[in-house]
Amino acid sequence: MNRLRKLAALAAGLLFGLGLIVSGMADPAKVLGFLDLAGHWDPSLALVMAGAIAIGMPAFTLARRRSRSLLGAPMQLPTARGIDRRLVLGSVLFGVGWGLAGICPGPALVLLGMGSLKGLAFVMAMLAGMLLFAWIERFQAK
């Protein structure tokens, strides 16, 4: 990867992290308030998600029409369209983890960078889950 691509990746990551902080997505209490439909529901994160979709849809539409990124890298978009058992189980596990902790992977890295013990615990659990998944995949392949 050339220097400009690395700089663009750094800038995008910093902008994404800043957006998570400003929007409140890195605050587990705010996220849990959004997920608490039966209690004191906080709808503000729905606006954050709507804003992300409003920006993402045109960007992905444009990306599908291109063979290369703006920096010249080959365009690599997901091609899978089917819903299978692995997708459903992974989505359920993600949702349960998000609902229990109020944290998902992006905000977890922001929290880790801020020195949060919750962020550290989440990232360690996430890495353990990834290692367990890789081990199960290797075991099933044999």
pLDDT tens per residue across span 84-113: 998 999 899 888 988 888 898 889 999 999
- Domain total of the chain: 1
Tell which phi-psi region holds residue 22, choosing left (phi > 0), alpha (psi between -120 and 50) or beta.
alpha
Residue 90's closest CA among 22, 110, 80? 80
Say if residue 123's pLDDT is above 90. yes
Cα–Cα distance measured from residue 46 to residue 56, given in angstroms and rounded to the nearest whole number: 15
Residue 106's closest CA among 48, 44, 20? 20
Residue keyed to tokens 């890789």: 134
Q: What is the pTM of this model?
A: 0.76
CB count in 10 Å sphere of residue 69: 13
Say if residue 1's pLDDT is above 80. no
> Domain range for residue 7?
3-141
Task: Convert the pLDDT of each residue in 23-75 to its tens digit.
Answer: 888 899 888 998 888 888 999 889 988 999 999 999 999 999 999 998 888 99
